[in-house]
Chain A
Amino acid sequence: MSKLKIEDLTLIFGKEKEEALTLLKQGKTKAEILKETGCTVAVKNASFNIEKGEFFVIMGLSGSGKSSLLRCLNRLIEPTSGSVILNDVNITSLGDKELQNVRKKEMAMVFQNFGLLPHRTVLENVAFGLELQDIPKEQREAKAQEVIEMVSLKGYENQNTSELSGGMQQRVGLARALANDPEILLMDEAFSALDPLIRTQMQDELIDLQEKMHKTIVFITHDLDEAIRLGDRIAIMKDGEVIQIGTPEDILTNPADEYVSSFVEKVDRKSIITAASLLFEKPTVAIFKKDGVEGSLRKMRSSGLTSLPAVSVDKHFLGFVYLKDILELKAKGHQTIEMAIVKDVPVAYPETTVEQMLPFIAENGRAVPIIDRETNKLLGIVAQTSLLIETTGTSWENVTGNSIDNLQNEVI
């Protein structure tokens, strides 16, 4: 069951919302609606589900409506139409009291510029959410202390928040949100105001925390690298619309449109792209016992390759055979290729990343065999060219102008 369901959510800013909504339903564009009613469509028909324990990132440039969308989830901004459903409760139809309860118990938010109270100490800030719930002082400070230790703020309890660095202030912001023990964490560009080094550090710490806590996190960012590092799934927004939702690898390998691909180009893909998405599934192979010396030679000749992966009849990966070894066997009059199979070759698995496969390039002119971890069957190969292209970030077309199949055959 989904933790959080966003259904057909639309947010319009301006005076004539109703009229703008009608126009939107008629299929008018944002620009037309702005011209006719003076209203801005900030979020347009957003629908998606967020699963329990998922790290969900909403990524978009400024003005894409991502922060407004986030604020609709806890109704800091009232959505114009559509609904937000948390554990089967429709948040959008709650009264003030119930909404305050949802905010107290179930959703907590972390802000870009921290939103801390400057007249209070770190401890009082962290305990603030609990104070609003009228939890007795001792109890809430004990809880706050616990969370302060979780986010490595121990020793800073009695400092004034304004004396802390940005990274430390955001730890306070995070601790304040965690102290409420919410099911859902809403994080609005939480790390965007931090220095790059601190940002990376905070990202790592958040990943570690998430491994322990398994919260449902909705994280807003304008930085695709950050989205990819953190997100289990990413939603990409443009002009108020969600244009693609998928895992980081989905988005990198199958960008929905040109807008997404223009983003994706700049990303460091090495650590995200896995063998599975570069896999060439039907490579030419020498099937041991079925293909003898002659058969293997014929396959090499027709494919123009000097080496082939060798597999058993039931597709178990055995190793590689090389042209020169086979020719040698032929000269000696052997029939089977058994003696030519080089068994000691590194293999990779579908989830191996490009980064991890890079050392293989150094080995020799051979593709990387990808095998199933359990059955040891050969699933396919990753050509060296594919690895090089992923590493340098150049597209297929630019390199060869050829189809992917030809390319695979050239380099095996």
Chain B
Amino acid sequence: MIHIGPYIEEFINWLTSNFGALFNIIKIIVISVVDSVEWVLMFPPFYIIILLVAFLAWKRTGLGVTIFTILGLTLIWAMGYWGQTMATLALILSAAFIALLMGVPMGIWAAKNPLAGKIMRPVLDLMQTMPAFVYLIPAVLFFGLGKVPGAFATIIFAMPPAVRLTTLGISQVPKEIVEATRSFGATPRQLLFKVELPLALPTILAGVNQTIMMALSMVVISAMIAAGGLGEVVLKGITQLKIGLGFEGGIAVVILAIILDRITQSFGNTKKRNIA
């Protein structure tokens, strides 16, 4: 029998004992991002947030989504889960933001450098398919309990689509357009910012949508390490066999998911129409 486990354990322990300072810095950064977003969401009264989200929905999508947004968010508030929902939203938005901040440049790199792309591929596969619970253990070892390991696990799980779709978007830019741009004396930077990224934008935005959805799916899981939010409600329902409580939390997650999906999807779609 071959035991890989002990080696990985050894490696994680080595990381924890040697890179404690680094993990602390990461922890401080992540917690400040999550807390600031949460503060922004919690500071104004709930109806202001509802109106703002509804306004965004109305601008980007149709009347249907707008009505759903108003009714859905009001229902969440009425059920008494406003605080948890905002905590979850803050965690998702921060994790997605950080995932994109790292994922998009990595995607660009993979598109430009075939070797980097080749190396990244199996790593991304691993990140995406490894059961999410598995991340929780080292996350807790690195960062202790709370929001930070939750965000960390969420970032790792949500980053692959950002990387993949950025790579896809850039490599889909027609060869002749790239050639034309180079033939006019564009520097690699001009090529990237004036041509490749704008043309890849719809695909990258589809990646943003997927990243946010992936992040949302981690909510309940990260509640197991005390990340809080709606996940905690669902988890309580499961552990205490409170069917009603579980469903209430679940419904709040679904409402949040639908609103986030429709709004982020709309960004990708409008741009796509211009290009086709």
Residues of A within 8 A of B (CB): 71, 74, 76, 99-105, 107-109, 111-119, 128-129, 131-133, 160, 162, 173, 176, 180, 186
* In the complex, chain A residues whose CB is within 8 Å of the CB of B174: 113, 115
Interface residues on B, range: 20 to 34
B276 to chain A: closest residue by CB? A162
Contact B274 A118 (CB under 8 A): yes
* In the complex, chain A residues whose CB is within 8 Å of the CB of B276: 162
B186 to chain A: closest residue by CB? A132
Residues of B within 8 A of A (CB): 174, 176-177, 179-187, 190, 194-195, 198-199, 274-276
Contact A76 B198 (CB under 8 A): no
A110 to chain B, nearest CB (A): 9
Contact B185 A118 (CB under 8 A): no
Complex Cα spacing A105 to B185, Å: 9
* In the complex, chain A residues whose CB is within 8 Å of the CB of B274: 118-119, 160
A182 to chain B: closest residue by CB? B184
Contact A103 B199 (CB under 8 A): no
Contact A109 B183 (CB under 8 A): yes
Contact A101 B185 (CB under 8 A): yes
A96 to chain B: closest residue by CB? B187
Do A100 and B275 contact each other (CB < 8 Å), given the known contacts A115-B180, A117-B177? no
Listed from nearest, the 5 A-B pairs whose CB atoms lie closest are A115-B180, A104-B185, A103-B185, A109-B183, A115-B176
A130 to chain B: closest residue by CB? B184
B274 to chain A: closest residue by CB? A119
Contact B176 A76 (CB under 8 A): no
Contact A119 B199 (CB under 8 A): yes
* 14 new A-B contacts at CB < 8 Å, known A113-B176, A119-B198: A101-B185, A103-B182, A109-B179, A115-B177, A117-B195, A117-B198, A118-B199, A128-B181, A128-B194, A129-B185, A131-B194, A132-B186, A132-B194, A133-B185
* In the complex, chain B residues whose CB is within 8 Å of the CB of A131: 194
Most A C-beta atoms less than 10 A away, residue of B182, B195, B199? B182
Complex Cα spacing A218 to B194, Å: 28
B187 to chain A, nearest CB (A): 6
Most A C-beta atoms less than 10 A away, residue of B179, B190, B275? B179
Complex Cα spacing A132 to B187, Å: 8
| Chain A to chain B contacts (Cβ below 8 Å), 14 pairs | A100-B186, A102-B185, A103-B183, A109-B180, A111-B180, A112-B176, A115-B174, A115-B176, A117-B177, A117-B195, A118-B199, A128-B181, A131-B194, A186-B183
